[in-house]
Amino acid sequence: MEYVWIDNIIDGLIDIYGTNNIYDLYDYLDISIKKLPMSNVLLHGNEAFYNRNFFDTEVVFIRENLTVEYEQFILAHELGHAILHTNMITSAFNINLLNLDKMERQANYFALKLVNLNIDEIIFEGFTIEQIAKSFNLPVKCLKLLLG
């Protein structure tokens, strides 16, 4: 699966801002990141919640204590919605409930390209998906999603 238009948007972003660092991109694009305890009502039990206009602020609420790699993946996924799906006002990220509709697939594609996760099939030959997930510090479900 390939979305050339998304590749072009990512190339453009990196060109304009000179980085693919997700935290720098959030800064440049003026999107706030607010880490919250899992129990916080704003998360509604999700891992993250994006709101394009939360009291005039564009913000991603995200659970604290995720691995850095998983946090970056989720932030990149939500940035995908922010940039690709401008009609989307809010979006929740919940790995257990993630539907695979077109927009979710596009956001995952965007995230995968942006974080540039390179799962080398030769290096990981003979590894189980659990072992590969562990080596990337990602939940197994997330890796399965990324591998399609």
List residues with catalytic annotation. 78
Give the span between the Cα atoms of 96 and 47, in whole angstroms: 10
Query: φ and ψ at 113, to 5 degrees?
Result: -65, -40
Q: Are the C-beta atoms of residues 37 and 75 closer than 8 Å to each other?
A: no
In whole angstroms, the minimum distance from the beta carbon of 127 to Zn ion comes to 28
Q: 107, 112, 114, 146: which one contacts Zn ion (CB under 5 A)?
A: 107
In whole angstroms, the minimum distance from the beta carbon of 142 to Zn ion comes to 12
Strand 57-63 and strand 32-36: pairing? parallel
In whole angstroms, the minimum distance from the beta carbon of 126 to Zn ion comes to 32
In sign, the C-alpha dihedral spanning 111, 115, 116, 120 is negative
- Interface segment toward Zn ion; rule CB under 5 A; list 6-14, 60-68, 87-95, 109-117: 87-95
Using CB under 5 A as the binding rule, whether residue 22 contacts Zn ion is answered as: no
User: Which residues contact Zn ion (rule: CB under 5 A)?
Assistant: 91, 104, 107
